[in-house]
């Protein structure tokens, strides 16, 4: 069976470049689908309903959701405490429930204090600190 598909690219496709271009396209498709899946199904509620707002409300809400996703993705890369707390809890929803309760009933000075408090409360350890 011959594989058939359509590609949109500005690169010249020939016998030498077709394999690399196809691999790049598949990689991009995988990344986009995984991110869209997280935005839709794992706590961000990013769905088609963002197209029904008054004037610019839908765009504003979609932008805020994407900014939240960017923030928490960046935190996962750079904040060891955040990554540890997220790993100790079973789901993102549970993490946000804990975070919401602590934000209401606790007066932590900054994010680092809050994350250290959560790690300690969950009996976790930070990698590299013993």
* pLDDT, position 102: 84
Does pTM top 0.75 for this prediction? no
User: Which residues does the chain have with pLDDT short of 50?
Assistant: none
Predicted pLDDT at 34: 81
In SS3 terms, the chain reads as: CCCCCCCCCCCCCCCCCHHHHHHHHHHHHHHHHHHHHHHHHCCCCCCHHHHCCCCCHHHHHHHHHHHHHHHHHHHHHHCHHHHHHHHHCCCHHHHHHHHHHHHHHCCCCCHHHHHHHHHHHCCCCCCCCC
Give the start-to-end residue ranges of the domains of the chain.
14-76, 79-130
Asked if 82 and 75 touch (Cβ cutoff 8 Å), the reply is yes
């Amino acid at each position: 069976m011959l594989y058939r598909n359509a590609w949109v690219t500005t690169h010249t496709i020939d016998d030498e470049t077709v394999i690399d271009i196809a691999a790049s396209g598949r990689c991009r498709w995988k990344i986009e689908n995984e991110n869209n899946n997280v935005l839709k199904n794992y706590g961000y509620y990013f769905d088609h309903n963002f197209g029904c707002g008054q004037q610019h409300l839908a765009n504003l809400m979609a932008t805020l959701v994407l900014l939240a996703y960017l923030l928490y993705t960046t935190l996962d890369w750079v904040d060891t405490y955040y990554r540890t707390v997220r790993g100790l809890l079973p789901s993102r929803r549970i993490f946000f429930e804990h975070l919401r309760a602590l934000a209401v009933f606790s007066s932590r000075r900054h994010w680092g204090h809050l994350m250290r408090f959560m790690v300690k409360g969950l009996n976790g350890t930070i990698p590299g600190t013993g």
